[in-house]
Amino acid sequence: MIEAKNISKMFDDSAALTDVSINVKKGSIYGLVGSNGAGKTTLLKILAGVYRQDQGEVLIDNQKVFENIEIKSKTVFIPDSLYFFSQYTVKDMAIFYQRIYANWNEERYQILKNAFQLDEHKKIQQMSKGMQRQAAFWLALSITPDFLILDEPLDGLDPIMRQKVRNLIIQDTAEREMTVLISSHNLRELEDLCDNIGILHQGRLIVEKELDDLKSDIHKIQAAFQGDQPKKIFQNKNVLYHEKRGSVRLFIIRGKKEEIIQEVSQYQPLVLDILPLTLEEIFIYEMGGIGYEIKNIVI
Amino acid sequence: MFELDLRSRKPIYEQLVEKLKVLIISEVLKTDEQLPSVRVLSTQLTINPNTIQKAYRELERQGYIYSLPGKGNFVARVTRDGNTERLAKLREELVKILSEAIYLGMKKEDIIKIISEVDVMVRGGEK
């Protein structure tokens, strides 16, 4: 379990994180999303024990993380910008990690060699961006970590590699109950991978929920009515967004699907469509609700 | 065993529940047959194991499967004439389609003719 309790972090005068608490259950894949500069990377670095928080507590397996060798030897963090020693090949890195991580699995390293098809004797820094990412995953998964923390992990990988890496992560989660925390801007990608989602904005956590709950709680409704639109409709509901497109009305509403259908049916709509929202849409409307929204700028 | 539509808006866990229900009702999965383990299915479909676990729990709650601790999940004895839910849905869809057809000028006789044709096709013309 990865737990952060009321974390705050300042860099000089600016607050990067304010009172953030998150909870990643064992064996879960947790997706951390957020606006640019929301503090995702800072949070991940604190959880991985790279930065120390100013306030609050970070626990992995109920132990403090910072400078805790036991926890760190079970945790792998793949940062946004990768770091390898200069002149090192994948093999050299493997030998280095083997000495540091007690759970290094040589057998796995050999099996994964086939999955990634990289030349282990090539200098990593001479590899392309995508290949360097592959090397990072190859090494990370050979360590067989209990906790895997990934910052924008699939950036720069081709579609086949993405699928392969996702599959490898899922296998480890299913078989060894590895706990995974992923930050990404690619919400489509998180949608099939994660079971829990946290949304960060300006250093605060604004939503933390199971993905399925998040999705079943919010709906997109398109309806058209005979004559004028009934004025009283959805007065008692939490309407996040409302728009007229010709004679069709679009609503984004929070609430139970059955209740919404019941209410609309009273007004005998000519057209009624209820769609679940994609994670991307949820993100956009949640952000809109706190004043960070899409405004098309006309130049 | 089956494919999921990852681009659909429908939550994956709901899709899983529906697909498995269809397989059970249509007896592709027989009573007491073991379902693939969470681990196997999640790797096969590249789906989060917790999502699959959740779908299995939901199917168990609805009485489609039962679980034996340490052994896995198995298909429960389902009353196969329990297609009530699906029938209600089909009825709803039929009403929708027929309304449109009538609105666009299709005659009642034409619709009845189509119904008898389909009936002949499906039942092989027995009278």
Which residues on adjacent β-strands are paired with residue A208?
A: A198
Judgement on whether residues A274 and A259 belong to the same structural domain of the protein:
yes
Q: Which residues on chain B are in Cβ contact (under 8 Å) with A171?
A: 42-43
| A172 and A236 co-located in one domain | no
**Is A299 part of a structural domain of the chain?**
no
pLDDT of residue B70: 86
Q: ipTM value of the model?
A: 0.78
- A195/B48 Cβ within 8 A: yes
A254 within a domain of the structure (yes/no): yes
Band of pLDDT at residue A133, cut at 50, 70 and 90? very high
- When pLDDT is averaged across residues A145-159 and rounded to a whole number, the result is 92
From A178, A213, A248, the end of a domain falls on A213
Residue A296 lies inside a defined structural domain of this protein: no
Residue that terminates a domain, selected from A180, A213, A246 = A213
* pLDDT value at A197 more than 60: yes
- A138 and A228, same domain (yes or no): no
Report chain B's C-alpha Rg in angstroms.
19
Q: Name the residue among B9, B11, B43 with its Cβ closest to that of A170.
A: B43
Same structural domain for residues A25 and A166? Answer: yes
Is A138 part of any domain? yes
Domain of A275, in residue numbers: 217-289
Tell me the CATH number at A271.
3.30.70
What are the pLDDT digits (tens) for A40-74? 999 999 999 999 999 999 999 999 999 899 999 99
More confident residue, A275 or A112: A112
Claim to verify: residue A181 and residue A227 sit in the same structural domain? no
Confirm whether A294 is domain-assigned.
no
Q: Among A184, A213, A242, give the residue marking a domain's end.
A: A213
Q: A190 with A224, same domain?
A: no
Ordered per-residue pLDDT tens for chain B, 127 residues: 777 877 777 888 888 999 998 888 888 888 899 999 998 999 888 889 999 999 999 999 988 999 998 889 999 987 655 567 778 888 888 988 888 888 888 899 999 999 999 988 887 755 5
Among chain A, residues having any CB pair with chain B shorter than 8 Å are: 27-29, 163, 166-167, 170-171, 173-175, 191-195, 211-212, 215-216, 275-278
Considering only CB atoms, which chain A residues are within 8 Å of B47? 170, 192
**Mean residue pLDDT across chain A:** 89
Chain A neighbours among B 52-91 (CB < 8 Å)?
54
Q: B48–A27: do the CB atoms touch at under 8 Å?
A: no
**How many domains does chain A contain in total?**
2
User: How close A33 comes to chain B (CA, Å)?
Assistant: 18
